Amino acid sequence: MTAAPVILTLDCDMHSNDPIAPLRALCYFLDPAIAPTLAYVQFPQRFLGLNSGDIYGGEMRRVFRIDPLGMDGLRGVGNFGTCCFFSRRSLYGPPPAAPTNDESKVRSADWPLSSESVLRRAHEAAGCRYENSEEWGNRIGFRYGSLVEDYFTGFRMQCEGWRSVFCDPVERPAFLGQAPKSLIDVLRQYRRWTMGLYQKPSPTKASSSPATPPAMVELHTHHAHPRILFNRLHIFVYAAALLALLYRHTALLESRPVASSLLLLLADLVLALMWLFSQGFRWRPLLRQEFPDRLSAAAAAGSVWLPALDVFVCTADPYKEPPVSVASTALSAMAFDYPAGRLSVYVSDDGCSELTLLAFIEAAKFARYWLPFCREKGIMERSPEAYFESGNGDGDVEEIKIIYEELRCKIERAVQKGYVDDTLITSPEDRQTFEKWKNFTRKDHPAIVQVLLDSSRDTDVAGDPLPNLVYLSREKRRSTPHHFKAGALNALVRSNYHQSLAN
């Protein structure tokens, strides 16, 4: 379909909070000094609705905002699984083996998404047996073999020779989402992460860099954190104190060789090693600044061509992940300040739910009003759910709020019923779409690809083209492993790349 050279992965509960976030990421991808080996640009996860005092540590500042500064000064930050812009080249192997010619020239408007040949190839690529004879999940795409497929994928990419960048804008959070609010939810999340991190990864080989793109205006800067000298002084002083403590334990063990002295020595030794392994994050933390205004000016002058951008939004359960929220996440991405003809949003519904499909059919209709409204009013919070829940929607925005409330009520009625009845289907085209859902179950169904918006033909109420919006539910069979979120992302990567080459 579009095969954009840049891919943004978003969890369904993590919406865009800054419409120029793609331009910030491109400030790094278009830098010839780092672009040849740059795999991804990772933005921090920021959260709304935390309980008072964040008593369960749901914000995880150290994981998502503090430690990544230090990792950025080393080989690069890990992949958080969401709020991450990938170079498509990095998903196809080490830097020298990565394809560089075809993808960089693709414009999303060049491919007729609704053509029969393109949709046929998309269905084939979304099949659960497609990757059996390929290296998907091993050396191609998002990697299998771990419950934390995001971290594992980033680790494997860095082992292959790729680098990454951490981008934490100071002006406003680029993305916002919902954090676990209860102790049970926090424990379940940490259990999954811990199990995945302790799985044994497969070995990979490092490689050199591909060719460098042409030079251009400076789009970003970086410098060492002001506390770097204090951090290093603290490391040396603390290390001296630990050595003194371990020496004392050793002396006590020699003078009184009892079990308690040995246990104290072993305990302090383990804690000292844990502390030592974490000091890499503090050795060389970096602070970065992007200049998206310079990129916008260069693009307007024609000296820089903005590449196509594909946004992947993943969901799996309409009852745990409300379809209204998922649709709002996709709408916030569709409302990026980015050329509509080069922007495509792909939704992976791993639950194969007609409720999710209904939500996105309605979202496609609402986008015709929401996107020009955001441009006209200069709104920064472009998730309609977050925008109206924050108290906006009075005065001159009452009309758009009424349209949104009709959408929300319609979707919530379907969720309460558990199915989409005839009263919720308003057009023959929608009725024909839902005919595809007969006799399907969540774990046993064919691939379903539905083009909801095509930028080459669909426009908003102001007459401007709309971004592409594609719904995909990959094929699932009980006898074939589906590899969870990594498998869903790989189905999206294949579906929007291979059929464009065939076309």
**Count of domains observed in the chain:** 2
Q: Is it the case that residue 110 has pLDDT exceeding 80?
A: no
Helices (H), 109-148: 116-125
Extended strands (E) in 108-249: 163-166, 175-178, 220-224
Per-residue model confidence (pLDDT) at position 101? 41
pLDDT band at 393 (very low <50, low <70, confident <90, very high): low
Task: Write out pLDDT tens, residues 19-31.
Answer: 999 999 999 999 9
Residue 420 maps to a domain: yes
Q: Are 172 and 81 members of one domain?
A: yes
Q: Is it the case that residue 323 has pLDDT exceeding 50?
A: yes
Among residues 496, 414, 470, which one has the least CA distance to residue 6? 496
- Cα of 173 vs its chain's centroid, Å: 15
Q: Is it the case that residue 212 has pLDDT exceeding 50?
A: no
Per-residue model confidence (pLDDT) at position 2? 64
Per-residue model confidence (pLDDT) at position 146? 79
Q: 66: which DSSP letter?
A: I
Q: Are 207 and 347 members of one domain?
A: yes
Q: Are 352 and 271 members of one domain?
A: no
Say whether 320 counts as a known binding-site residue.
yes
Task: Look at 242 and 116; give whichever has higher pLDDT.
Answer: 242
Q: Is it the case that residue 165 has pLDDT exceeding 60?
A: yes
Q: Which domain holds residue 238?
A: 228-283
User: How far, CA to CA in Å, does 471 sit from each of 122, 178, 198, 395, 450?
Assistant: 11, 23, 34, 34, 5
Say whether 310 counts as a known binding-site residue.
no
Q: Are 139 and 205 members of one domain?
A: yes
| Mean pLDDT confidence for 285-301 | 92
Helices (H), 30-75: 61, 67-72
Task: Write out pLDDT tens, residues 451-486.
Answer: 999 998 999 999 999 999 999 999 888 888 888 888
Q: How many CB atoms lie within 10 A of CB 53?
A: 6
Q: Is it the case that residue 385 has pLDDT exceeding 80?
A: yes
Per-residue model confidence (pLDDT) at position 108? 39
Per-residue model confidence (pLDDT) at position 86? 96
Per-residue model confidence (pLDDT) at position 398? 82
Residue 92 maps to a domain: yes
Residue 70 maps to a domain: yes
For the chain, what percent of residues have pLDDT higher than 70? Answer: 84
Q: Are 113 and 176 members of one domain?
A: yes
Task: Tell me how many helices (H) and strands (E) the chain has.
Answer: 17, 13
Q: Are 265 and 414 members of one domain?
A: no
| Mean pLDDT confidence for 376-395 | 83
Per-residue model confidence (pLDDT) at position 90? 92
Helix (H, G, I), strand (E, B) or coil at 51: coil
| Mean pLDDT confidence for 393-405 | 80
Of 245-249, 315-319, 417-421, 499-503, where does mean pLDDT reach its minimum? 499-503
Per-residue model confidence (pLDDT) at position 200? 52
Q: Is it the case that residue 167 has pLDDT exceeding 90?
A: yes
Q: Are 419 and 467 members of one domain?
A: yes
Q: Is it the case that residue 308 has pLDDT exceeding 60?
A: yes
Side chain identity at 443, as an amino acid letter? K
Say whether 410 counts as a known binding-site residue.
no
pLDDT band at 47 (very low <50, low <70, confident <90, very high): confident
Q: Is it the case that residue 338 has pLDDT exceeding 90?
A: yes
Q: Are 276 and 387 members of one domain?
A: no
Residue 1 maps to a domain: no
Question: Do residues 379 and 345 lie in contact, with contact meaning Cβ atoms separated by under 8 Å?
Answer: no
Among residues 143, 134, 146, 195, which one has the least CA distance to residue 39? 143
| Mean pLDDT confidence for 188-211 | 52
Q: Is it the case that residue 427 has pLDDT exceeding 90?
A: no
Per-residue model confidence (pLDDT) at position 194? 65
pLDDT band at 133 (very low <50, low <70, confident <90, very high): low
Average pLDDT, whole number, for the chain? Answer: 84
Per-residue model confidence (pLDDT) at position 193? 61
How far is Cα 445 from Cα 439, in angstroms, rounded to an integer? 8
* Phi, psi torsion values for 48, nearest 5 degrees: -110, 160
Q: Which of 266, 283, 300 is the last residue of a domain?
A: 283
Per-residue model confidence (pLDDT) at position 137? 85
The pair of structure tokens assigned to 320 is 């745990």
Q: Are 172 and 253 members of one domain?
A: no
Among residues 38, 33, 6, 191, which one has the least CA distance to residue 106? 6
Per-residue model confidence (pLDDT) at position 208? 38
| Mean pLDDT confidence for 221-235 | 91
Per-residue model confidence (pLDDT) at position 96? 55
Per-residue model confidence (pLDDT) at position 206? 37
Q: Are 185 and 235 members of one domain?
A: no
* Strand ranges across the sheet with 14-16: 14-16, 175-178, 46-48
DSSP letters, 55-92, are: TT-TT-HIIIIIHHHHHHTTT-PPP-SSSEEEEGGGGG
Helices (H), 20-148: 21-29, 61, 67-72, 116-125
CA diameter of the chain: 88
Q: Are 149 and 81 members of one domain?
A: yes
* Phi, psi torsion values for 157, nearest 5 degrees: -60, -45
Q: Is it the case that residue 205 has pLDDT exceeding 60?
A: no
For the chain, what percent of residues have pLDDT higher than 90? Answer: 45
Per-residue model confidence (pLDDT) at position 407? 93
How far is Cα 276 from Cα 353, in angstroms, rounded to an integer? 48
Per-residue model confidence (pLDDT) at position 214? 47
Per-residue model confidence (pLDDT) at position 187? 74
The pair of structure tokens assigned to 169 is 């804008």
How far is Cα 68 from Cα 83, in angstroms, rounded to an integer? 14
| Mean pLDDT confidence for 120-148 | 80
How far is Cα 363 from Cα 273, in angstroms, rounded to an integer? 52
Question: Do residues 346 and 312 lie in contact, with contact meaning Cβ atoms separated by under 8 Å?
Answer: yes
Per-residue model confidence (pLDDT) at position 390? 80
Q: Are 295 and 266 members of one domain?
A: no
Q: 131: which DSSP letter?
A: G
| Mean pLDDT confidence for 372-394 | 86
Q: How many CB atoms lie within 10 A of CB 79?
A: 26
| Contacts with 236 (C-beta within 8 Å, 6 or more apart), sequence order | none
Side chain identity at 59, as an amino acid letter? E
Q: Is it the case that residue 203 has pLDDT exceeding 60?
A: no
Q: How many CB atoms lie within 10 A of CB 325?
A: 18
